[in-house]
Every structure is written in structure tokens, then in C-alpha cells.
Structure 1
Amino acid sequence: RDVTPEKQAAVLRILRCEPTAFYEILQLPRTCTDAEVKKAYRKLSLLTHPDKNGHEQADEAFKVVARAFGILGDKEKRDRYDETGMDPDDRMANMKTQ
């Protein structure tokens, strides 16, 4: 499991993002299509997957990418995220907005 400069840069960039900055994590504009979300996820998951990337924080970065895809790849969750700017699966954050 090698750590190329590209793989290291991807891990470090992702971990510097706010945990709920899902568009920033996937490097997408808010106007992106579902196909663009899937394409960005596939690209970043290959760069950060712990089996492919030997960086010590690759596992953590991979989980962040998967989380972003879990929200932006689900139409209902993405719509809620776009409305509130908060993680639709975060129960505590959602209770504060009600």
C-alpha cells in the first residue's frame, strides 16, 4: 500500500474540510448532478480507500468521503441538507431547528 503524493494530498485535503461540508469534501458545486456525485465519490474512494492508500489517516478520510456520498447521493437527504446546511442524520442538530 503505497502513499503517492496525490493520495496523501487527497487524505489531508479531506480531513481539513468541515465534517458537514459535503460538497467541499467531494469537490463539487451545489448545482452538481447525481451522476457527478457518483463520479466524484468513485474517484475519491479509490484515492482514500485504506486497502489502496497506505497513509495512516486514509481510513478516516475514506469514512468522511463515504459519509458525504451517503448524504449527497440520497435525494431526500440532499434536499434536507441543501435547505438547512446541516447533516440530516444528526438528530441533535435537527432537534434545534424544529
Structure 2
Amino acid sequence: MDDKLIDYLSLLSRIQLTEEEKKTYGSQMSDIFLWVEQIKDLNTGEDGDLSYKKEEGRLRQDIPIPFENRKAIIDNFTAREFDFLKVKKVIEG
């Protein structure tokens, strides 16, 4: 981790670092990169593909189910048009 990269990262982060902080954070980030490299080398027994694949064709049929109290619910609408609940317009245009 060189000073140029630390300066660039601090610019992207919009933080100002002192020379002492640059040395400290540079050392810490180098340790993190070494640790990540060690993790990459581990054999986990997995193929490495952790992405979830979209399963297709598993949608249920859209079958309407009769509801026993439909008329009671419709009768309780404050405003209705035919058998539909009538609401105030919420989108302008």
C-alpha cells in the first residue's frame, strides 16, 4: 500500500489524513489485503460459485378463490362504483 493509493482513497472518502494516520491506515490496509489473500488460498471444498440461480417455472397458478363475505365487505365501502371500492385520486396528472 503506497502513499499515492492512500491519498487517492482519502480523496474518494473526502477525509483528510495526517502523515501519521496515512502510515497507520496504510499498514492496517496492507494487513487486510494479506488476510484476504490467505482466505483466497483456503480450500473450502466448494466450487466458488455462490451466486443464486433464478429458478424458473415454479410459479403457482393464479386461480381465484371464492370468498364467503364478499358482499358484506362491499356493503361496507364508504364509496363504491358497481362492486369496486372508489378512492380519491392520489396521483396528479
Q: Which has the higher contact order (CA 8 A, sep 6+)?
A: 1
Structure-2-length-normalised TM-score: 0.27
More strand by share: 2
Structure-1-length-normalised TM-score: 0.26
Bigger Rg, structure 1 or 2: 2
